[in-house]
Copies of this chain bind each other. A is one copy, B any other.
Amino acid sequence: MVTIDFTILGMLNWKPMTGYDMKRMMQDSPVMYWSGNNNQIYKALVQLLDMGYVTNELQYQESAPNKKVYSITDSGRAALEAWILETEPESPEFKKAFLIQISWAGLMEKEKIDQLLARYEEQVREQIAMRQEEKRRQKYFPNRSEQEHYVWDQIYDNLCQSYEAELQWTVRFREGLKALK
């Protein structure tokens, strides 16, 4: 039982879904984007079925492929709740290949460094725009209570703020660089 399993249980605790639906939600989500591939989802679903944490119902469709609609069971709900409450929160991990790239540019001409930073800034701005758009669309936005709405609002903000902080860093970096020597 790893994160993907609980991600699935969480989604199913929100509403019944097919594997395809979950893949969609995970891939569109800035939070659970990793693990959002067929390979892991369909494998995990088989396991969760075995453990009795989910059930599925085959739905025949004429104008589309048949689908298996999954639902969470009581024991699945219990496992999810236990995981949420008892798992020690992990500190976030940042993977920034750009920092490696720029770290070895320190001896190059100042303008080259600035150009690199400018290109990075561009990328980060794009990310911010995308995250804001995602939040605005509210495509996946559980809203079963005022409190839940607030929580999801904060989650969408989190990513925006992370990229915003990154943007501020690049701006300050470039200003300081210009002032050098």
List A residues at the B interface (Cβ < 8 Å).
3, 6-7, 9-10, 13-14, 30-32, 34, 80-81, 83-85, 87-108, 110, 112-113, 116, 119-120, 123-124, 126-127, 142, 144-152, 154-155, 157-159, 161-166, 168-169, 173, 176-177, 180-181
User: Quick check: B101 and A89 within 8 Å, CB to CB?
Assistant: yes
Least distance between A172 CB and chain B CB atoms (Å)? 8
Contact B169 A161 (CB under 8 A): yes
| CB–CB A92/B89 < 8 A | no
Q: Are B151 and A10 in contact (CB under 8 A)?
A: no
A142 touching B106, Cβ below 8 Å: yes
Which residue of the partner chain B has the closest CB to A101? B84
Shortest distance between the CB of A113 and any CB in chain B (Å): 7
Specify how many copies of this chain sit in the oligomer. 2
Interface hub of A99, A110, A127, A181 (most chain B Cβ within 10 A): A99
Which B residues are in CB contact (< 8 Å) with A87? Answer: 101
B106 and A98 contact, CB distance less than 8 A: no
> CB within 8 A of A106: which of B95, B97, B151, B166?
B151
Contacts A91-B126, A150-B176, A165-B165 known; A85 to B100 CB distance under 8 Å? no
Further pairs besides A85-B116, A92-B98: 15, Cβ < 8 Å: A85-B105, A88-B119, A90-B123, A92-B94, A92-B163, A92-B166, A93-B95, A103-B151, A106-B145, A106-B149, A106-B150, A106-B151, A150-B180, A161-B168, A161-B169
Residue of B nearest to A144 (CB): B107
Contact B100–A3 (Cβ < 8 Å): yes
In the bound complex, CA of A93 to CA of B31 (Å): 11
